[in-house]
Structure 1
């Protein structure tokens, strides 16, 4: 049977979901499936087996599992001692790319998992305790929904990813450091993030990175789980939704700043992906923020 594709309900402005401290039986688990989101799983207790990308892993207390986007997987909990775990599903678009001159990215742990095809990781007792506490804080933010809760939840996730990536950085063989994640992919991602109003088509990006368009397209999708057009549109849309809520700039100004060809094109794409017009999105979310104060 072909794997099914898991769907998520959250909108494109905040592609982020959490299944917090769930205890599942084999009957409630999905069959082999995949999704575009990156997934992080932490096991609190219980026993089971995790099938990830043609490999079976034992699941037990203290295990962390890193699943890059579009990785086939399935959890098989022990019937007598089922696993209790937290799973965080997020788009890599939400995680900040390093642009401060340090060759260290918060998604390094996922690069390592994809390259080595090793998806299970253990932390030291102190790091595990602090990372698990970040998951608790993350859930608290999503539950209480105070102003800025999305930013705070992301900060907690980034702290977890920092500890996981740092653990790998300090234990990995640095002789292979340069081969983890193509430099040209990181260059392209940083360019997209910092220049949303520029020409971000496949031809332009492949020229920027000195990589053929065909190779760029193929490897870009392998690394991000998305094609170039969808990635750029999603990145621009996330930026536009942020500006709609954080500034008083007009919709036309925001469309231009985010690189949309025309205002009608921006309106059509925004409504298609977000489900509301830009003005309705701004009005509704600002009202919700006011109500929560």
Structure 2
């Protein structure tokens, strides 16, 4: 799915910090170049047919021709997200060989590297300054261009984070289908992906890193968190609307996945 990003009018890009609020995103790509710098916690991305397990200080580039999705994130996951319109990328990169991948739709290779603590801290300070200048349009535009090149320079000297094995198309489709409807059972998923139930179940756990039932529960917790953040639903109402059959079931799953009960988690996020 091609997504139209909500970048303020007249801006050549945008920068913000993300933390896990339970929002569910579909598999997507967009015209803009993107990078994600992980601040804390851990997450799992699908980029094309590759899976990347990321953690603190990992810098991941996502190119316009790459379908991608953050399929899993820990309760404490947070990161910097920056997106850049093509015109800014072309102007900032200046046509040099070193920055050539930035101008491509889907360059060869893998673009996830782990930065050193000083590198990540310098970028974090730069991004803090840039956000503070968001009301000063000329300064913000110049800062975005500098942030793009600073991140690319840090990436160039980072430690490679190898991707996992290629994700089978049926596994990728199963993950996508579950994000659309997490009530789909194993038999239905197997029919729609063309694999036997046992093979799909085995491949999914091997390649995504979660059993199908655990992946389904993560999606439901994400929906619960989104409902609590965006509506006035009680914990019970949000749990039931997210797909849990009962509050005890929800509480048990939530504590296993998040490491604490929902009430304690809510207090920690205030």
TM-score (norm 1): 0.47
Report if aligned partners of 1:64, 1:120 keep a CA contact under 8 Å in 2: yes
Query: Once the 2 structures are TM-superposed, how far is the Cα of residue 75 of structure 1 from its aligned partner?
Result: 0.6
Residue 112 (structure 2) aligns with: 120
What is the distance in 2 between the residues matched to 1:91 and 1:60? 26
CA shift in 2, pair 1:53/1:147, >3 Å: closer
Structure 1 stretches of 4+ with a deviation exceeding 6 A read none
**Is 1:7 paired with 2:1?**
no
Residue 77 (structure 1) aligns with: 72
CA shift in 2, pair 1:23/1:12, >3 Å: closer
What is the distance in 1 between the residues matched to 2:15 and 2:65? 18
Residue 127 (structure 2) aligns with: 135
**Is 1:59 paired with 2:54?**
yes
What is the distance in 2 between the residues matched to 1:112 and 1:38? 9
Query: Once the 2 structures are TM-superposed, how far is the Cα of residue 165 of structure 1 from its aligned partner?
Result: 5.2
CA shift in 2, pair 1:139/1:9, >3 Å: same
Query: Once the 2 structures are TM-superposed, how far is the Cα of residue 50 of structure 1 from its aligned partner?
Result: 1.0
What is the distance in 1 between the residues matched to 2:143 and 2:48? 29
Report if aligned partners of 1:43, 1:60 keep a CA contact under 8 Å in 2: yes
Report if aligned partners of 1:50, 1:76 keep a CA contact under 8 Å in 2: yes
What is the distance in 1 between the residues matched to 2:85 and 2:58? 22
TM-score (norm 2): 0.50
CA shift in 2, pair 1:12/1:71, >3 Å: farther
Greater relative contact order: 1 or 2 (C-alpha under 8 angstroms, separation 6 or more)?
A: 2
Query: Once the 2 structures are TM-superposed, how far is the Cα of residue 155 of structure 1 from its aligned partner?
Result: 3.9
**Is 1:104 paired with 2:101?**
no
The CA RMSD measured in Å over matched residues stands at 3.1
What is the distance in 1 between the residues matched to 2:28 and 2:79? 18
Give the gaps of 5 or more residues in structure 2: 161-270
Report if aligned partners of 1:18, 1:89 keep a CA contact under 8 Å in 2: yes
